[in-house]
Amino acid sequence: GENVEQHPSTLSVQEGDSAVIKCTYSDSASNYFPWYKQELGKRPQLIIDIRSNVGEKKDQRIAVTLNKTAKHFSLHITETQPEDSAVYFCAASGGAGNMLTFGGGTRLMVKP
């Protein structure tokens, strides 16, 4: 089945700096790659997603890039703000099975 690796597990940045979180996946048939933000005690919320027919997608301060050849994708957050502090999960689906397979998460801390 699919295996998604995510790093770093924790990331601390100064407010206003950029943050980058990277994920790799194993199933070359995967074609959908969402990113979820989860605040403490809350539900995971979709913040951006990308499909395999594009290499990059941007939404205001958030962007995602996908390299299908290398089987990795990344989340980029620019001009970070304290409210960006949360755990971020990458995921992949579309290969064997119908489920989303999640990475282990990255705890992002934005220091004011």
Partner 1 sequence: GAGVSQSPRYKVAKRGQDVALRCDPISGHVSLFWYQQALGQGPEFLTYFQNEAQLDKSGLPSDRFFAERPEGSVSTLKIQRTQQEDSAVYLCASSLNSGANVLTFGAGSRLTVL
- Residue-by-residue DSSP string for the chain: ---EEEE-SEEEEETTS-EEEEEEES-TT--EEEEEEE-TTS--EEEEEEETT-SEEEETTEEEEEETTTTEEEEEE-S--GGG-EEEEEEEBSSSSSS-EE---EEEEEE-
Q: How far is the CB of 40 from partner 1 (least distance, A)?
A: 11
**What number of other Cβ atoms are within 10 A of residue 81's Cβ?**
12
Q: Does 14 bind partner 1 (CB under 8 A)?
A: no
Distance between CA atoms of residues 80 and 77, nearest Å: 6
Pick the stretch among 14-22, 39-47, 62-70, 78-86 that binds partner 1 (CB under 8 A): 39-47
Rule CB under 8 A: is residue 10 a binding residue for partner 1? no
Q: How far apart are CB 110 and partner 1 at their closest, in Å?
A: 19
Can residue 85 be called a binding residue for partner 1 (CB under 8 A)? no
Residue 7 contacts partner 1 per CB under 8 A: no
**Closest separation between CB of residue 88 and partner 1, Å?**
10
Using CB under 8 A as the binding rule, whether residue 33 contacts partner 1 is answered as: no
- Binding positions for partner 1, rule: CB under 8 A: 6, 32, 34, 36, 42-46, 49, 89, 93-94, 97-105
